[in-house]
Amino acid sequence: MDQDLAEELNLSGEPNPLCLKWTGGTHRSENNSHKVALDISGLKGKRFHFENVRTVSELQLPPQSLDVKQLQSEYRHLRGVPAQSYRDVRPRLLIGVQHAYATLVRKSREGRVGQPIAINTNLGWTIYGGAPNGQSMSMLHYAYHVKQCNHDDVDKINDNMERALKDFFAIESLGVTSSNKEIRSQDDERDIQLLHDLTQFNGKRYETGLLWRNNNVKLPDSKPMALKRMYSMQRRMEKDPDLARILDEKLADYLNKGYIRKLTTAELEENHKRVWYLPVFPVTNPNKPGKVRLVWDAAAVVNGVLLNSSLLAGPDLLTSLVSVLYKFREHRFAICGDIREMFHQVKTRNEDQHSQRFLWWDSEDRKKTQYLCDAGDDVWGMLLTRERAIYEEPKRRAFQ
């Protein structure tokens, strides 16, 4: 549609360059084209809603005229057709095949071959086709075929040589020039959007949420599974007192630093949307004797469901070695660093903390106890190591 018509109707939309192509290779670029939406109807009848209507500076279509009375006096099959006459009217809107339902023919009146035809569409009656003898050509209706072409095609015709030269020198610019926008999957797009929406600074540390695969994830009761794994861990610790001491010290350290906390009685009585218990087990490294690492098993299965399958994997955060080496060509200095306990520095938002519970023993009386985490591993750390911690302390009856 004409841009001035869109302005008269107070239509606005997002700018989107457009390329129009006709037969014979004729093309035209509309760099200031916009996508707008509008409703359209005939003088009477149903209203139709059009989306993604493209504006152009000017359609430049020739004016048209239609004398219904003259046509009806010349052709008997047109008599009684309630079409409207008009003179020297310049079309300002073209209806394409994507909106063919608006121009769907309901009825028609035909004469002999070469004579005008009257049709009744969803927008009303109109007459088109051959004009009576002696009438001016302005009485004829013109048909146009417009094709939307790739806006980049026009530029490619003129810059092939320039592109070839750029490709020739591309090798020397590796690692120095900025790469194009990264192409992400739909899951990665959701990852990035969730992190953008959920991550915030609460005054002390950053806080974010879990990357749920969808908004309607439902988790089964995982507590019996966690209890079974805890009893297995208990038997192992009874055979290895040093291991029991190390694990107790680590959890006590997490509790002291505020990474984890005990649930209150009020929190235990609340009905949370997603609750999941993560079994805990230790991991040792033969190359590092005496060093024990705690792992929260997010791959534990309950009724075919595991926490990992309910969460998105997240975008790949590892930087390739080649990319790291390229960076040395980009700037003068390189800096290397590490962050102490980085996987525990980002707080988990309250809504997701209950999806990261685990069971342990109270360090004082060795009673079986549940815990919940206040500031667990950050989301990135979880995606890479699948570790999570949440503490909860219920009454003893919770284990009976």
Same domain, 266 and 285: yes
Q: Are 262 and 391 in contact (CB under 8 A)?
A: yes
239 and 352 in a single domain? The answer is yes
The set of residues, in sequence order, having a beta carbon less than 8 Å from that of 113 and lying 6+ positions away, is: none
Strand pairing category for 34-41 and 86-89:
unpaired
Confidence of residue 331 (pLDDT cuts 50, 70, 90): confident
Which of residues 118, 152, 168 is at a domain's end? Answer: 168
What integer pLDDT is reported at residue 21 of this predicted model?
77
pLDDT for the residue numbered 254: 86
| Same domain as 250, residue 115 | no
**Taking a C-beta distance cutoff of 8 angstroms, is the pair 116, 129 a contact?**
yes
Determine, yes or no, domain membership for 325.
no
- Quote the pLDDT of residue 379: 31
Give me the mean pLDDT over the 236-254 stretch: 89
Residue 179 lies in a domain: no
Residue type, 320: S
How far CA 86 is from CA of 59, 126, 203, 230, 376, in Å, comes to: 19, 11, 70, 86, 74
Q: Percent of the chain beyond pLDDT 70?
A: 77
Handedness of CA 237, 243, 249, 253 (dihedral sign): negative
**What range does the domain containing 125 cover?**
64-89+103-140
- The tens digit of pLDDT for each residue in 111-153 reads 998 899 999 999 999 998 866 554 443 444 455 555 556 555 5
CA dihedral 28, 30, 34, 37 (to 10 degrees): -20
The pLDDT value given to residue 53: 92
**Structure token digits, residue 185:** 């999957």
Same domain? 264 vs 301: yes
Q: Taking residues 341-354, what's their average pLDDT?
A: 81
Residue 80 lies in a domain: yes
Distance, C-alpha 178 to centroid of its chain: 24
Write out pLDDT tens, residues 172-222: 666 555 555 667 788 888 888 998 899 999 888 888 999 999 988 999 999
Say whether pLDDT at 342 is over 70.
Answer: no
Q: In this predicted structure, what is the pLDDT of residue 172?
A: 61
In angstroms, the CA 123 to CA 109 distance is: 16
Same domain, 349 and 223: yes
Paired tokens of 309: 């399958």
- Residue 110: the pLDDT is 92
Residues 245 and 382 in one domain: yes
Residues in contact with 111: Cβ distance below 8 Å, sequence separation at least 6, in sequence order = 75, 76, 77, 78, 117
- pLDDT for 305 equals 92
Strands (E), 147-243: 147-149, 200-201, 206-208
Going by C-alpha positions, the residue among 44, 43, 53 that lies closest to residue 14 is 53
Mean pLDDT of 34-63: 89
pLDDT at 203: 86
Mean pLDDT, residues 383-390 taken together? 30
**Residue 259 and residue 346 in contact, taking contact as beta carbons nearer than 8 Å:** no
Angstrom distance (rounded) from CA 329 to CA 322: 12
Cα–Cα distance measured from residue 148 to residue 94, given in angstroms and rounded to the nearest whole number: 13
Structural domain contains residue 364:
yes
Distance CA 119, CA 121 (A): 6
Q: Are strands 86-89 and 105-109 parallel, antiparallel or unpaired?
A: unpaired
Whether residue 124 sits in one domain with residue 56: no
Contact 30, 20 (CB under 8 A): yes
pLDDT, mean over the chain: 79
- Specify the higher pLDDT residue, 49 or 383: 49
Are 146 and 73 in contact by the 8 Å Cβ rule? The answer is: no
Higher-pLDDT residue of 370 and 14 is 14
For residues 101 and 323, which has the higher predicted lDDT (pLDDT)? Answer: 101
Query: Domain check: are 153 and 241 in the same one?
Result: no
Q: Is residue 335 in a domain? A: no
pLDDT for residue 337 is more than 50? yes
Domain co-membership, 262 together with 379: yes
366 and 232 in a common domain: yes
Please check whether residues 80 and 7 belong to one and the same domain: no
d(CA 38, CA 373): 52
pLDDT tops 90 at residue 19: no
Residue 199 has which token pair?
């991550």
Q: State how beta strands 206-208 and 347-348 pair.
A: parallel
**Position 117 in a domain:** yes
CB 116 within 8 A of CB 24: no
pLDDT at site 212: 93
Question: Which tens digits make up the pLDDT trace of 38-52?
Answer: 999 988 778 999 998
The verdict on residue 3 lying in a domain is: yes
- The pLDDT value given to residue 173: 62
Per-residue pLDDT averaged across 66-90, rounded?
91
C-alpha distances in Å from residue 390, one per residue of 48, 71, 141, 289: 55, 84, 75, 27
Give 98 or 169, the one with higher predicted confidence. Answer: 98
Residues 217, 296: one domain? Answer: yes
Q: Is the pLDDT of residue 67 over 80?
A: yes
pLDDT value, residue 372: 54
Q: Say what the pLDDT of residue 397 is.
A: 30
Could you give the C-alpha distances from 382 to 85, 385, 388, in angstroms and in order? Answer: 72, 5, 7
Confirm whether 214 is domain-assigned: yes
Task: State the total domains in the chain.
Answer: 3
